[in-house]
Structures are given as C-alpha cells and as structure tokens.
Amino acid sequence: MIKHRAIRDALLGRIVSGEWAPGRVIPGEVDLAREFGCTRATVARALRELVAAGLVERRRRGGTRVLGRSGRDAVVTIPIVREEIEAAGHAYGYERLTVREADPPEPIRQAFGLRPGAAAVHVACLHRADGRPAQVEDRWINAAAVPAVRTQDFRTVSPNEWLVRAVPYTRARHEFRAERPTDRLRGLLDLAPDEWVFVVERRTWREDAGITVAHLYNPADRFRITTRDPVAFGVDPGAG
C-alpha cells in the first residue's frame, strides 16, 4: 500500500465521479493530510501527480482547483516500420534506393538553419513486408551536425536505425497528413490507381541544430496511427 498513490487515486475518484466538479476548489494540503493521516509532503506528492495529469491546477493562496477536461491531448507512438512488420509476423525487407550528398531544398535548409551551399545527405529507401512494399523513406541528414553520415552508405542499415544509435537528439516534431502520391511513389509502393499516401514527417534537433528531416510514405489503404491517453499514471507506476 503506497500512501501517496492511494491518496492520488482517492482524489482522482472524487474528481471523475463528479463529487468534485470542474471549477471547484478542493480542501487544502493540511486538511487532506489530516483526513488521510499523513504529512503534508505525502499529500503534496499525490497532488503533484494530479497536476502532471492535467486534472487540477494549483495556485498559492488560491488553492487547488479541479479543471474541466477538454481532453485534447493524446500520446502517439511513432511507428517504426521494421518493428510493425515483424510484429505482424511478416518478413522485413530493406532496400536502399539512393544516397547522395547535395544541396538540400529550401524548406529542408530552413529546418536545419543552414546557409545555401551547405551540404546535407539525402537518402531514399524502401521497406518491405513479405516482399511487398510497405514504406518509402525519404530523408535529409544535416552533414554539419552529423559528420559521420558521409561515411555511411546505408546499404544494409536503415537511416533511422543508424541515426538512433549515432546521434542522440533532444527534440522531435512530427506531422501526419495525406497526399496525392507522385508517379514514382505510386510505382515504388504499388499503390491502387486512386490511392493516396499517408505521410509521416519527422524532424529532429539536437539543441538548436537540425539533425534530420524524414518523410515516411505509407499506402493510405493500409496504414493508421493510434493514440493512447497521456501517461498520467497507470504506465510508469513509480514515476511522478
């Protein structure tokens, strides 16, 4: 029986049951500590978790207030194509299409904060499931931030897996959208005549330097992204 978790769950129950409606100010730490027979510190820890979960807000002198859940935040795990394919019981296949050092196009250069003429490496490759095309990966890597990329030919190791090992990053942003495929994509992915592609765009930074911009093109007919609730608690039981 972990006290701070029992307290957190008790308070959570009062909130989701509606006993403590959104907008209401709940009892102060001292009162709760008395009610639960513990010290302020333990109550404070429970309340800190509720804050992290976005269920309450706290203000000095103003007390702790229950928030209405607009409930718009969700956590999405960016799928790694290799793991998806293997988890589905299919044979994973990897094929490097092209690799070249070149001037990145303007949008990429902007993302990297590079001056015109600065070098970057472009890699394109194809991931297969049981031989069937599953994803085209089109990626620019900032050669200034990752010099080692020049010595890599990506013939057997996919850019994603190489980067994860080679360069820790500190920040990532993703975008999901659907697009009309180019003719090249249509051929590579063996798309139906009218089929679109589901694009996952992934950008990573190390501090302020852009590392990579990747476009992951998936056949829209057989691709989806799912979310789960913000970690809040449930996962990661010991963390607060």
Partner DNA sequence: CAGTGGTCTAGACCACGCC
Partner DNA sequence: GCGTGGTCTAGACCACTGG
Which residues of this chain interact with DNA, rule CB under 7 A? 1-5, 28-30, 37-42, 44-45, 47-48, 58-64, 238
Phi–psi pair at 193, nearest 5 degrees: -55, -40
* From the list DNA, a second copy, none, partner contacted by residue 228 (C-beta under 5 to 8 A by kind): a second copy
The distance between the two most distant Cα atoms of the chain, rounded to a whole number of Å, is 69
Please say which residue, 108 or 160, places its beta carbon nearer to a second copy: 160
Q: Which of 170, 24, 161 is nearest to 82 (CA)?
A: 161
34 vs 171, beta carbon nearer a second copy? 171
What does 28 interact with, of a second copy, DNA, none (CB < 5 to 8 A by kind)?
DNA
Q: Does 207 bind a second copy (CB under 8 A)?
A: yes
52 binds, among DNA, a second copy, none (CB under 5 to 8 A by kind): a second copy
| Smaller CB separation from a second copy, 37 or 68 | 68
**Whole-angstrom distance, CA of residue 219 vs CA of residue 240:** 39
Q: Which of 64, 183, 190, 215 is nearest to 131 (CA)?
A: 190
- Our finding on whether 190 is near a second copy (CB under 8 A) is no
Measure the CA–CA gap between 195 and 180, rounded to whole angstroms: 8
Ranges within 35-64 binding a second copy (CB under 8 A): 48, 51-52, 58
Burial profile 191-218: b = 16 or more Cβ within 10 angstroms, e = fewer: beeeebbbbbebbbbeeeebbbbbbbbb
Cα 155 to its chain centre, rounded Å, is: 27
| Binding to a second copy in span 76-105, by CB under 8 A | 76-80
Using CB distances below 5 to 8 A depending on partner kind, what does residue 10 bind out of DNA, a second copy, none?
A: none
Q: What are phi and psi of 234, to 5 degrees?
A: 125, -65
Residue 204: both structure tokens together? 């990573």
Q: Which residues bind a second copy (CB under 8 A)?
A: 15-16, 18, 22, 48, 51-52, 58, 68-80, 164-165, 168-180, 194, 196, 198, 204, 206-207, 220, 223-231, 236, 238-240
